[in-house]
Structure 1
Amino acid sequence: MTECIDPTTVKPASGSGTLTMYNRDCIKGMASLLPPESVDVVVTSPPYNLGIEYRSYDDRISRDEYLRWTAAWASEVARVLAPSGSFFLNVGSKPTDPWVPFEVANALRGVFVLQNTIHWVKSIAISRADVGDYPGLDGDIAVGHYKPINSRRFLNDCHEYIFHFTLKGNVPLDRTAVGVPYQDKSNIARWTAARGDRSDLRCRGNTWFIPYETIKRAKDERPHPATFPPRLPEMCIKLHGLDRCDLVLDPFSGLGNTAVACARLGVQFIGFEIDPFYFSESVERIRRAAGQAASGQGRHMQNSLFQKG
């Protein structure tokens, strides 16, 4: 596969948060382009090695080879991550191979500290009888999207993991940036006094319901077989803290949804995607998102370091 080492740079209409994409291998790209401790937040979802049909990547290599490759790219992430940075790693599994997320997390042990484990809930069913007299809930609900499994042994797989890694395990987070309002408003005074504020928001916790957008034509609207919605990296970046985030990295950019989140937030982005087709698709999506970014929403200026090429 021929790689293009020249960057494609998108400048949002707001004038802040330059978005830079490379069509090349992420290990080589990080090693040659990114200085040590230069990245504040990493949000990514590498191939899971579950036999997913990508256009140009073999997702059926041996588990040992896959874990060695995981350790190789993760070591580059560790090198470029700032001491106070956050690394959000999305890993899924399948019922016949449920160990992948845990083996990947274990492969990173010793390089990173697992500070938080977040459950990305893609679909959920809530029974009215289970929650009792809950405000706003008039009946049973079932929301979100999932791929149904025709099996007598396995349940439908409705969630994936987001592992929040840091270098020391002591990175402070902006928990209320992705918080939810208190249902019982009397708890505002009770639980916020210790924090010194009276915010109507509490920590969301480690279960995040983030559904996919409903689409009509999967091949046209979501041509990549395994990607997260932009809302997921947006929440990760906010949780880390926008005021401490000058550069976001996605080593496996796919359709560019982390970059789309950065365009919305006005944060500078650099990403790598090895497949030419996915790269081309991502650039178009990023350009559309950058054009839609609200003027004045972002606060970050471009860094000439990533304008090489």
Structure 2
Amino acid sequence: MIRARRETLGMHTLIRGDCLSVMRRMPAGSVDVVVTSPPYNLGLAYRSYKDSLSEESYLDWMEVICSKVARVMRDDGSFFLNIAGSSAQPWLPFELMVRLRKLFTLQNHISWIKSVAVGEVTHGHFKPVNSLRYVNRNHEHIFHLTKQGDVELDRLGAGVPFTDKSNIHRRQHREDRRCRGDTWFIPYETVRSRQARYSHPGTFPVALPERCIRLHGVKPDMIVLDPFMGTGTSLIAAESLKIRSIGIEADTTYVRFARKRLRAMIAQGDGTDALMEDGTQ
């Protein structure tokens, strides 16, 4: 059993501990947005977690964790779950979603596009698959889960400007902004060394949790929770939006990296240095 240790940096709380134990002690209905990327059970080399459970054991474990997420989340809250399958385990994310139907409604299913080819030009970064059977996997899932499926979103807050500006007046839009839709192209830079990625095998860009929070809607007193904090990317996103956050992480080394990144961003003020460190989680 990991004994939880808690510290506060600015508006943010970092907790070293097991997320199940920590969430059991959190007040019910105390969190507005949960955004996280748990281990995918793909055999990645985490420092203190075995990422190679049987599929059934992994699904059982994630179901219990998500039940605790449902307890601490407000009735009008949003749970953004970033997860991916593999060529060998393509059903895993969808098997999990079927299990979670008893806890949540799948309000939106967003595809995070990490790399895309437009014509003959490739944009973004991907990890190539060396296979005669499978194509490269250039996307991951973001499942937007809510309790009843009726959470009103700030679609324009996470939106994009119109390409055809005539649409603004022709369709009577109040501003040069439209819904981004359910495909999000968020590239991240190629990581060239283990040091550059904080020795963490699972990464996502800061723009991903920030966009999730913006889609839910940023409110002054809201709280964001990441039960698999890693090296603090969700907390960095919360700091950039000037809202409170709680991060839980079992690995002491990752907590130390998260603390270092968050301190640097708070000290910087605008967070430029922290955000440019390739967005590793």
TM-score, with normalisation over the residues of structure 1? 0.84
Q: Establish whether residue 232 from structure 1 lines up as the match of residue 242 from structure 2.
A: no
Q: By how many angstroms is 1:4 displaced?
A: 4.4
5 Å matches for 1:169-188? Answer: 169-188=149-168
Provide Cα deviations, 1:180-215, integer angstroms capped at 9, x if missing partner. Answer: 111111111233x3xxx5211111101001111344
Q: By how many angstroms is 1:123 displaced?
A: 0.5
Distance in 1 separating the partners of 2:268 and 2:91: 40
Q: Which has the higher contact order (CA 8 A, sep 6+)?
A: 1
Q: Indicate the residue corresponding to 2:32 in structure 1.
A: 40
Q: Indicate the residue corresponding to 1:134 in structure 2.
A: none
Retained in 2: the 8 A contact 1:20–1:269?
yes
Q: Establish whether residue 25 from structure 1 lines up as the match of residue 1 from structure 2.
A: no
Q: Number of aligned pairs?
A: 271
Q: Establish whether residue 145 from structure 1 lines up as the match of residue 125 from structure 2.
A: yes
Consecutive unaligned residues of structure 1, counting only runs of 5 or more, are 12-17, 128-139, 296-309
Q: Establish whether residue 277 from structure 1 lines up as the match of residue 253 from structure 2.
A: yes
Larger radius of gyration: 1
2:146 to 166, 174, 179: 166
Letter in 2 for 1:104: L
Letter in 1 for 2:127: K
Distance in 1 separating the partners of 2:243 and 2:76: 17
Q: Indicate the residue corresponding to 1:117 in structure 2.
A: 109
5 Å matches for 1:280-295? Answer: 280-294=256-270
Provide Cα deviations, 1:4-40, integer angstroms capped at 9, x if missing partner. Answer: 42312111xxxxxx111111000100111x2111100
Q: Establish whether residue 107 from structure 1 lines up as the match of residue 99 from structure 2.
A: yes
5 Å matches for 1:117-266? Answer: 117-127=109-119, 140-191=120-171, 193=172, 197-243=173-219, 246-266=222-242
SS in 1 for 2:101: coil
Identity of aligned residues (%): 47
Cα gap change, 1:226/1:245 in structure 2, threshold over 3 Å: closer, same or farther? farther
Distance in 1 separating the partners of 2:156 and 2:41: 35
Retained in 2: the 8 A contact 1:178–1:203?
yes
SS in 2 for 1:102: helix
Provide Cα deviations, 1:134-155, integer angstroms capped at 9, x if missing partner. Answer: xxxxxx4311111111111111
Q: By how many angstroms is 1:245 displaced?
A: 5.9
Instruction: Kindly report structure 1 stretches of 4+ aligned residues shifted beyond 6 Å.
Output: none
C-alpha RMSD over aligned residues: 1.6
SS in 2 for 1:181: coil
Provide Cα deviations, 1:70-109, integer angstroms capped at 9, x if missing partner. Answer: 1111111000101110000000111111111111211211
Consecutive unaligned residues of structure 2, counting only runs of 5 or more, are 272-281
Distance in 2 separating the partners of 1:67 and 1:77: 15
Cα gap change, 1:220/1:198 in structure 2, threshold over 3 Å: closer, same or farther? closer
SS in 2 for 1:201: coil
Q: By how many angstroms is 1:232 displaced?
A: 0.3
